[in-house]
Amino acid sequence: MDRAGSHDHGDFHPDRTLQRDDLLDDPIAQFLVWLDDAESAGLALAQAVALATADARGRPSARNVMLRGVYDGGFVFYTNLGSRKARDLAENPHAAMVFLWKELSRQVSVTGRVEPASAEESDHYFADRPRDAQLGAWASKQSTVLSDRAELETRFVEADERYRGMDVPRPPFWAGFRLIPDAVEFWQGRAFRLHDRFAYTRDDSRPAGWRIERLAP
């Protein structure tokens, strides 16, 4: 039995719909409205997002990360530059994101090119992180093989001792990225899988720079 598909009445919020007149002309502005709705509803980890990348041969990988800002026309996240996602982006600077707010029966999908955040942005964000998180960035050679957990914990202690009584600097191997969207989809769950789904596609011939179309769900 297809358990996910056996209860069509249970995957929507009965009080929510999405019409063309509800949408702002800019998808990032519209996203911020929905993000605010999710945060105002008290949803845990409302800024969590599935991030998909692919290497030069098109082999995909995906993981959940935290959105750390939406500004300068894009969605910002941070990572170790030795991580698989960073290596993928060095070979293929395109990615996709999916935000899921299940309690609101809402989903937002974003695709576009990815560019590095500036060193100043990365420095500023790193300086605002809790000290233990800063030390953790130094301790973890992300995506490399560990002999055991003790190796990771030893590196953390070493970093703590190295910067004791000092501000922890941003590691040169840790930085931010910004996904600049060329397409954004908003999905609102409705009964009987007759969901509301709208796609924004970048179109410089339009006054707002975006074409907005309703899609079949």
DSSP of 160-195, one letter per residue?
Answer: HHHTTTSPPPPPTTEEEEEEEEEEEEEEE--GGG--
In this prediction, residue 13 carries a pLDDT of: 62
Angle, alpha carbons 40-208-46 (nearest 5°): 20
* CA of residue 65 relative to chain centroid, distance: 6
Q: Which amino acid is at 85?
A: K
In this prediction, residue 11 carries a pLDDT of: 54
**Contacts of residue 142, Cβ cutoff 8 Å, sequence gap at least 6:** 79, 80, 82, 83
Strands (E), 55-161: 60-66, 69-71, 74-80, 94-101, 106-116
In this prediction, residue 9 carries a pLDDT of: 41
Active site residue 193: yes
Query: What is the 8-class DSSP label of residue 147?
Result: S
Give the pair of three-digit tokens for residue 30: 């519209």
| Nearest to 177, CA basis, from 45, 72, 57, 38 | 72
Catalytic residue among 20, 193, 206, 211: 193
* pTM for this model (two decimals): 0.89
Name the residue with tokens 């990815």.
114
Report how far residue 190's alpha carbon sits from residue 170's, in angstroms, rounded to the nearest whole number.
Answer: 45
Write out pLDDT tens, residues 85-100: 999 999 999 999 999 9
Q: Is the dihedral of CA 63, 67, 72, 74 positive or negative?
A: positive
Per-residue pLDDT of the chain (217 residues; tens, 9 = 90+): 444 444 444 455 666 899 999 999 999 999 999 999 999 999 999 999 999 999 999 999 999 999 999 999 999 999 999 999 999 999 999 999 999 999 999 999 999 999 999 999 999 999 999 999 999 999 998 888 889 999 999 999 999 999 999 999 999 999 999 999 999 999 999 999 999 999 999 998 888 899 999 999 9
Write out pLDDT tens, residues 171-189: 999 999 999 999 999 999 9
Tell me the sheet residues that pair with 100. 107
